[in-house]
Amino acid sequence: MSDEFSIRRVRPSDATAVATVFEAALHEAGAYHPDAAGSPVDEDLPADYVDPGGDFLACVAAADAPALAGVDLPDGLGVDDGVLVATGAFRPPAAAVRERFADVAPLADRRLAEVKRMHVHPALHRRGIGGRVFDAVAERARAGGYGALVLETTSVQEAALAFYRERGFAEAARATVTPASVAEPITLVFCWRTL
């Protein structure tokens, strides 16, 4: 990824762009369910992440950055300092999430950070943006005293699963759920790695 992209903390004014990236990335992966809980639209950015001891990051490029030339990006990605193209976050996991990893011995004595909102707009996939955002998330978690990362994704998000495996994540468990707003069951995949 070129130096035309910078990574900074998400601001409340970024909410529309964050939601646009989120929806586009999940549509691309075949994992978007508009009525399912968990959209960043429902969150207080960045308070839901920063206040409990995590962070929520945005990858932003200048609107006239050469890296964006010829890239078909939708409206809604504009932010105060350019174009928001990717996000990544972490925070302490909720009790139910921690419980999913209770039997993973290498995590027993480590402070866990849950990786959330790792999305790159599909028009900019395969350019190293996701890797750079992930590295920033991992470094900030490490600097914040966390000793391991945990996350959940879905089995249909094959590119995400490959991305996490390439970064040293191992699978802890799978669970099939059928949220009330979704017709077909969803297989959740729970992954972890130490820092």
Q: Which of 56, 69, 61 is nearest to 85 (CA)?
A: 61
Whether the model pTM is above 0.75: yes
Q: Which of 17, 30, 4 is nearest to 160 (CA)?
A: 30
**What CATH number does the domain containing 97 carry?**
3.40.630.30
Assign 31 a pLDDT band (cuts: 50, 70, 90).
Answer: confident
For 117-153, the pLDDT digits (tens) are 999 999 999 999 999 999 999 999 999 999 999 999 9
Average pLDDT over residues 12-39: 83
Instruction: Provide the domain limits for residue 78.
Output: 5-194
How many CB atoms neighbour CB 19 within 10 A?
18
Assign 179 a pLDDT band (cuts: 50, 70, 90).
Answer: confident
Q: How many domains does the chain have?
A: 1
